[in-house]
Amino acid sequence: MTTIAIVVTIAVAVAAAAGYWVAQVQHAAAPMALAAEGGPAAAPASVATAAAAPATAGERQILYYRNPMGLPDTSPEPKKDSMGMDYIPVYADDRPDDSGAVAVSPARMQTLGVKTARVEMRTVDAAVRASGRIEIDERRQVVVAPRFEGWIERLHVNAVGDVVKKGQPLFTAYSPELQSTGEELRIAERLASQSAAHDALASESARRLAEATRARLRNLQVAGQAGARQVFHAPASGVVLEKMAIEGGRFMPGEALFRIADLSKVWIIADVYEQDLARVQVGQGAQVTLDAWPGRSFDARVAYLYPTLDAATRSTRVRLELDNAEGLLRPGMFAQVALAAGDASPRTVVPSSAIIDDGERRVVLIALDEGRFKPQPVKLGERGREVVEVLEGVQAGDRVVVSANFLIDSESQLKAALSNLMEADASEQMAAPSYETEGTLDAIDAEAGSLTLTHGELPALSWPAMTMDFLIAEPGLVKDIAPGTPVRFVFEAGEPGEYIVTGIEPLPGVAAPEGTGGTGADGAEADGAVVSTGSDARDDHRGH
């Protein structure tokens, strides 16, 4: 009996232990089974606590983080870009709008270096500015070129750059041609004098010969000098720019030996851009500055606008004249020209850096309250050195962004684009409603990308029951559907007269017709035959 009692006691203990183990296993498996059935599963205490914790009242939900430079890059968690700038959070309650206004936090404004300035009423320094170069006055230069052959016996002016006065000797030349011409003149004059008393005809002939000789000397520009040696004088006052004469050298008729220019007045040839030509007139005053004389300006006057335009630079040459009595202006110097234009009346102006001009639009960013900025299209007038006149778009007192405005503008354009995209999606959804009905798939034309379907009455479109052709959005939609199968399909309107099937499935509980197999994406049956029907087997309503 004792032995039996001991065995019974051990069996009870083992059964109790086994029951406890089974209960533990079932308790652990219960959450897994619930999770598999879609019910709540057990979770760690930290997760459960986080899931149960309600959102803080007034806290904005962050959807994602976007690139601070407007690049198409987002992140589900905070990060920095290659420049060390923080990605910008995008909140669930952000909504793009047509205005494209954007909000910038104070911290980001400081990081970007955003600066603003007020729109003012002030005078526009609208001078037309151009670059030019000093040239010789073409009407104040002369060339010394003898009209006869000869040799230079002596040079009186023998260096380039020498200043000469009108009538000053330049060189002495010997010419056999002048010697013979001078001797001929003396003979003719002596015969005319000796025969005047007893032979009037001979005297008249000698007189005419002497006159012809004097005319020849005048043509040779040596009138009054009949000897073999002639002295050439400076025909005008100025500076010797070129000297080809060499003492002892021979010269030929027409050869230029000296070039002399009067530099008491000079020209400035400036290039004025095509867009500024309407503001330049003959007689207009101008101020000229040169790097050689900093802090000093010279008065000039527009003398001529050349009639042609350089197609490469889109500019026209303008000639200005100015005095050079001091000789400070040398041909070849570069000059900056400011042509006086416009009036002194106050105008609405903004700093030049506030204008964003991408070739298609001109906008400024108006600073609103609470760190918001709005792009505003503007119409511009005259441009000054530091400011631009605004004809339309802003008023005096408005505040505009003058620094980092291109970054804010890129963000504004992104929001406007998102707004337009959302509106386009909404309009497309409204313009293309879907219709659902049931029918029978009669045939598949893989080459044409169409289906032939027989459907019942469609009150939404006022269609009676009929058989017609539909386009198919994707051939794979009918991959496993054989012709003759009752189907449910969804379609929408495409181009006028076209309807496109966007979804199709066999009716549940309906078996495929005997002797037909599924078709592939190419519209062929399992045995390779293409299933189609002729126009005599159905009513063709392609026009619907």
Position 34 in a domain: yes
Of the residues 411, 427, 443, the one at which a domain ends: 427
Position 64 in a domain: no
Position 374 in a domain: yes
How many folded domains does the chain comprise?
5
Together in a domain, 148 and 228? yes
Count of CB atoms situated within 10 Å of the CB of 177: 15
Helices (H) and strands (E) in the chain, counts: 6, 32
Together in a domain, 301 and 409? no
pLDDT at 276: 86
Position 93 in a domain: no
**Nearest Cα to 164, choosing from 241, 107, 255?**
241
**Nearest Cα to 451, choosing from 405, 495, 501, 394?**
501
Which tokens hold the place of 505? 């499935």
What CATH number should be reported for the domain holding residue 463?
A: 2.40.50.320
What CATH number should be reported for the domain holding residue 313?
A: 2.40.30.170
C-alpha 70/C-alpha 76 separation (Å) is: 16
Position 174 in a domain: yes
Together in a domain, 302 and 371? no
Together in a domain, 357 and 329? no
C-alpha 369/C-alpha 198 separation (Å) is: 119
pLDDT at 27: 41
Question: Helix/strand/coil (H, E, C) string of 345-412?
Answer: CCEEEEEHHHCEECCCCEEEEEECCCCEEEEEECEEEEECCCEEEEEECCCCCCEEEEECHHHHHHHH
Position 130 in a domain: no
pLDDT at 209: 85
**373 lies in which domain range?**
115-124+345-427
Supply the pTM of this predicted model.
0.45
C-alpha 403/C-alpha 242 separation (Å) is: 55
Of the residues 339, 366, 396, the one at which a domain ends: 339
**Nearest Cα to 153, choosing from 169, 174, 168?**
174
Q: What size, in residues, is the chain?
A: 544
Together in a domain, 251 and 166? yes
Together in a domain, 321 and 375? no
DSSP per-residue letters across 7-38: HHHHHHHHHHHHHHHHHHHHHHHHHHHHHHTT
Position 151 in a domain: yes
- Count how many Cα atoms sit within 13 Å of the Cα of residue 362 in the half-sphere of its side chain: 16
**Nearest Cα to 491, choosing from 505, 482, 501?**
501
Of the residues 12, 33, 52, the one at which a domain ends: 52
Together in a domain, 366 and 392? yes
**Nearest Cα to 522, choosing from 477, 486, 491?**
477
User: Could you report how far apart the first and last alpha carbons of the chain are, in Å?
Assistant: 98
Position 104 in a domain: no
Q: Which residue has the tokens 């219960």?
A: 30
- Burial category of 187 from C-beta neighbours within 10 Å (exposed 0-12, middle 13-18, buried 19 and up): middle
Question: Helix/strand/coil (H, E, C) string of 492-519?
Answer: EECCCCCEEEEEEEECCCCCCCCCCCCC
The H-or-E segment that residue 106 falls in is helix 106-112
User: What is Dmax (Cα atoms) for the chain?
Assistant: 204
Digit-by-digit pLDDT tens for the chain (544 residues) are 444 444 344 444 444 444 444 444 344 444 333 333 444 433 333 333 333 334 455 577 887 888 776 566 788 889 988 777 788 887 765 554 545 677 777 777 777 778 889 999 988 777 888 999 999 999 999 999 988 888 999 999 989 999 999 999 999 988 888 877 777 788 888 888 887 778 888 888 888 888 888 888 887 777 666 566 888 889 999 999 999 999 999 999 989 999 999 999 999 999 999 988 888 989 989 999 999 999 899 999 999 999 999 999 999 999 999 999 888 999 999 999 998 776 678 889 999 888 888 777 888 888 887 778 888 899 998 887 788 889 999 989 999 988 876 666 666 665 555 555 445 554 555 556 788 999 999 999 888 889 999 998 888 877 888 899 999 988 888 888 889 999 999 998 887 778 899 999 998 876 656 544 444 434 444 343 333 333 333 344 444 4
pLDDT at 361: 81
